[in-house]
Amino acid sequence: MRVRPSEPRDDHFEDLPNSVNASKHGIYFVSKRTNYYKGMRVFVTFPYTSAHDPMNSEYLAEVVRLDTLPNGKFGVAVDLKMSVNMSSNTKPGPRA
């Protein structure tokens, strides 16, 4: 996956963490970056193999939880808000 900030006020970065858990509405991943904060809006590309892969799906997401993990790592949970793909502007499926 690829994660980038969506707000101009946040310093630009590109994080390529591995997802630990994913559902239709959210993703949990582990990162060494300290940039994340609760309420932060990010662009999440999932799955992500390369910038030119047509199977990439990009979403606007919000950081909803941060966990401090061993070895200077952080667990980050994001809520997927909506797809931002050029071909589709749909929200993830309805919540059960």
pLDDT digit string (tens) for 19-46?
A: 999 999 999 999 999 999 999 999 999 8
pTM across the whole model: 0.82
For residues 48-77, average pLDDT: 89
Answer yes or no: are the C-beta atoms of 28 and 76 closer than 8 Å.
Answer: yes
Domain ranges of the chain: 2-83
Fold of domain 2-83 = Elongation Factor Tu (Ef-tu); domain 3 (2.40.30)
Alpha-carbon torsion, ordered 60, 3, 36, 25, to 10 deg: 50
